[in-house]
Amino acid sequence: MYRRQESRGCPLGPDSADTRNLLPLSTVYVLWEYSLDAHMDKFRPESFLPLTPVAFEILLALADGERHGYSILQEVDHRSAGAVSLHAGTLYRALARLLESELIEELSESPDPTNGDERRRYYRLTTRGIAVAKAEVVRLEGQLTAARSRRLLKGVRS
């Protein structure tokens, strides 16, 4: 995405002390990712939306507390009654993306040392992850409200 940015050129010569000798004001288009304001966008929960169904399911599974990968897989399968089918490869790729986005974090130790398998990796939501999950819920609520008002859902509420 490109963003319009006003810019002035540099002085005409390295020895020029006259600041009136600037190049005229010009409009340039820079990639948003490289503009000075772009770094602020990653801190807004809305910048992560919409979430993929898999990412949202993982955040929902972790909303109750820490879980290991297989437990997340089981929770998603149970809650969605099989509608969302997660396989190990899909799950761990999504977990890697969520870790990279800092929506979840990996625990350094098992939350229950007596029942911990050393090979299991445990995950939990970060503060940012909670904010993004809440923002996604608000977004989805808006879509449901619009669908109900257009009588697209059974049990229409006014």
Which of 20-24, 85-89, 136-140 is least confident? 20-24
The DSSP element (H or E) to which 104 belongs, if any, is strand 104-106
Side-chain-facing half-sphere of 47: CA atoms under 13 Å: 11
Contact 136, 50 (CB under 8 A): yes
Cα–Cα distance for residue pair 158/144, rounded to 1 Å = 12
pLDDT at 116: 65
Q: What is the pLDDT of residues 42-90, one digit of tens each?
A: 679 999 999 999 999 999 999 999 999 999 999 999 999 988 888 999 9
* The residue to which tokens 């007596």 are assigned: 114
Topology of domain 45-134 in CATH is Arc Repressor Mutant, subunit A (1.10.10)
Contact 121, 96 (CB under 8 A): no
| Domains of the chain by residue range | 2-39, 45-134
pLDDT at 34: 47
Cα–Cα distance for residue pair 101/65, rounded to 1 Å = 19
Cα–Cα distance for residue pair 123/69, rounded to 1 Å = 8
pLDDT at 7: 46
Q: What is the pLDDT of residues 77-123, one digit of tens each?
A: 999 998 888 899 999 999 999 999 999 999 988 887 777 677 889 99
